[in-house]
Structure 1
Amino acid sequence: VLDAVPGLVSWINSDLRYMGVNHHLAAAFNKLPEDFVGQEINFLQVNSRFPKFITQFFASCESQSSQEVKIEVAGEHRSYLIVAQKYHLLKAAVLVGIDITERQRMEEELRATTSRLTTLIQNLQAGILVENEFRQIALANQEFCTMFQITSPPEALIGLDHSCSTNLEKKFFLEPEKFGQRIAQILAKQQVVTNEELQLEDGRTFERDYVPIFVSGNYSGHLWMYRDITKRKGIETEIRKALEKEKELGELKSRFVSMTSHEFRTPLTTILSSSELLEHYRHKWADEKQLTHLHRIQNAVVHMTQMLNDVLIIGKAEVGKLDFNPVPLDLAEFCHYLVEEMQLNAQTLHAIAFNSPHQSIPSCMDKKLLRHIFFNLLSNALKYSATSSTIQFNLDCQDNQAVLKIQDQGIGIPHADLPRLFESFHRATNVGNIPGTGLGLSIVKKCLDIHQGEIAVESELGVGTTFIVKLPINSQVRQGADHEENSGD
């Protein structure tokens, strides 16, 4: 029967001599079972702790005891757990030696693995929370405590139930109740979840993973991993903006090429045709006809110069090099003279009705920028209005602000075009063959920005458009502004 026991079995009397051993013990030392009978327990001389343990055991009043010892068996040191049980009125004992060498090796490997895993988890740049199947916290690292502003050390969280862990986390998120509901959904499915983004109240963005833990097919708990990706999201946003800006620049370049090739063609054609006619026929023409073609050339040059100036203004404004030189002026008088000038240029095809309840409005503004603002708004009103219609130009003063309204009876602006109305080279989709560069309103907006002014638009297709401009009466040069004053036109 004893030979069927896989361990090393022996029985010893109180005189510390072997009474017998099983076949496994004898074979382990290359002996026969009868070789042990009557021998003292230290006759093998394999381990000094074994005789000492047996001696102390018989000297004690205990009926059973155990001890781990190392014994050299077949030239190899192995670990055994010796279990001793007294019998025969405590004058003899049965000892069973169980080989625990492999178990100790596995325990040591497990300890080493656990140590490495714990070190890895504690040094991860991510918050780790492990819960068991009862949703009690089994492990947390310092990064988790830091991310959720928990002042206690991670060890203090071990053993807390799920209500504590959920409450520790959800109070930081934009929608705490939805956070709790989502946790319940994930746990119910017990399926891996990765890269789930979460928005916090303080503006941070976390990324969360969930991993269920199964041992031998049985659910044993789960791991939560949180990563702070706020910086990454910020970089992604910057890259996205840069790509959008690059795309906008590409579109801007395309629109610029399209505009220049189209808008410059007409005046250049005029210059070329009139100059060729003068070259070949001026000696046959009267002075009046020659002057007509000369004026056509001059007007074409003026038109091209104006377009080039518009492009230069936009370029300066984009890099913050547009001059801002406010000087004292009478705004009412300035507007009156500008209307007279434009009325003459309109050649009586349109009427501009200037109205103001104020004879004089003393102010401090940049004359050049004001001219860009009003000239472009009035030019557009004239360009897109029916012949012989009247343009209303009203000027008032309210709360140290000049309020100007320019109202036409033109084609109007489609609602879909309003958001991009002040973009460079953008033109409304209903302009048809009416010439234009798409720069006028962009110049208006940039000049207003420098003045710290505002502009609003109201428009109805087929009825007309009204632009409302508000400007501070007394503008001052802003120190450290984006717009340099030392650059020329």
Structure 2
Amino acid sequence: MPDPNAVPRWDCAAAVRAVSWADRSGQAVPVAVALLRGLPGVVEAVVGAPVDGAAVVIPLRTGDALSVCCDGEPDPRLAPLVDTVAATLDASRADGGAVDFRDAVLSQSPSFIALFAPDGGLRWGNMTHWPDGTVVRYDETNTSAISGMVHPDDQRTLLSLMSSLHEREPGGHDRHTARVRLPEDRWMVMDIDIFDRYDDPLIGGLIAYGRDVTDLHETESTLRLIATQLKILVDSLEVGVLLQDADRVLLIANTAATALLDLRKPPAELAGLSWEDIHRLRGLPPAYYTELDDLARRCMADGVPVRGAMVGLGPHKVVELDFVPVRVGKLRLGALWVMRDVTEQVELQAALVRRNEELSRLAALKTEFIATVSHELRTPLTTLTSLTPMLADGAGDRVLGQAVQRNVNRLATLVETLLFLAGLESHSRSLVITHTRMETLVLEQIAILASHAAARSVVVAHRPPPTVTVLTGDRDLLARMIHHVVAAAIGSSPPSTTVRVTSHVDAERWSLDVTDENPLPVAASRMFTTMPDGGSGAEGDPLIGSGLGLTLARAIAERHGGGITFTRSAAGGTTIRIELPLVGLAAEATPI
């Protein structure tokens, strides 16, 4: 819209041009009133009902009047100029207001529209101010307008497009994105569409449409940044990632995926290729991909997520795949594939299975061996047990008979212990689950072994804990476990020494330390199979000092979720520690 203050005063022709140009943007009346108000001696100019006392009143075709009030005697040039302006207003409204209505609507558009004449001058626009707030001047050229509001880095390209479009493509169209100045030295991003309409008899110029796309540009920049970061992240993953659209066109592939599938192109060159194109880039024999292709067809047909599917890629590679359909509501947008090379894990798992099978076989052989040996020993021992009482009653052979009977009884006890141990390890003995006070159990076993300790001149010193611990388990087995551990310490102790028994409890486990003064005689791992120093009991418990008793104690502890360890004590002796979890077997009564 032209600036009324820039129109030469009292120039009727200039006033006609100004009002006519303003009419193209629906601003004819405001420009006419502003132009008249700017004249010397004029105090008011109004379009509407005639004003009483006005110096000049010109009726308009719309029924209104153009009234001009002056301060004093009006200038003789005023009446002709007012009449000229009124005639121009009548001419601008000859279409019944259609142009005014159209221009008023266009002036509210969020996009700017500018029409440039062939000489580059601005002929019409739907705005009164440029985006930076400066007033639109209809006598300025596109060069001055662009230089004033477009960012310097974008000016040359935009001017080149506007000046060469008619020559390059008469009647054609170009688009350019440029930064446009806003008030306070801010910038917005604008998409500018340029249409060549020089040869149009009604338009006869170059039309420029501008739209503010700042938010869109910032969003696109953010999305590009996120996409770049995501691409870097995906490409750095050790798992293979493939993303395809609903038409099975590949959108994303990372380096790990191309390596797993042995594709003969880098990931950047795979985007946009169809699934059939990807097939032709695979480097392994076609038969190697049979399982993978079958799984892919099923997944795409069913459209349901698949997790951890194992497929072989030939005889020497195993791949684990996840398939995730990508949907928005019921609309399927594509699918995501995640692949992991699990060849090494599968091989390790298979080796572990083989190892476990071998260990199970060896354990079964060991258990079978113990049961067999015990059975073979039991038959002759039964006979000896029945004959030795007769030998013990004979004259002159009484001492010999008693010795034979004592040793036979010991062998019988060892055999029964072997059978009991075999029952534990073969899971053929059931547990009787009860709640047991462990401190009471310790005191009972110390009392039972008191005579054996006295016979060896060994003192058993017990330090009870401040609290009582109740565990859940088989009371008889737990008692037998404590018995064999304390008995082993008594049997390995030299005369005139002390065995110290101490129990502890923390947040997770109950423990019992049995410490003697005899240095650890052998490696801890061999304590379960060797006879500690001190020999076996001459009288009473035949397992005192025997490694078999410790083996049995360990089996009982492990069955209750605990274990037994050997360490060298601070005083140089040996500490046997039993550890059992505070959370016991509960109501479990399954065979062990």
Give the alignment's TM-score, normalised by structure 2: 0.41
Structure number with larger C-alpha Rg: 2
Give the alignment's TM-score, normalised by structure 1: 0.48
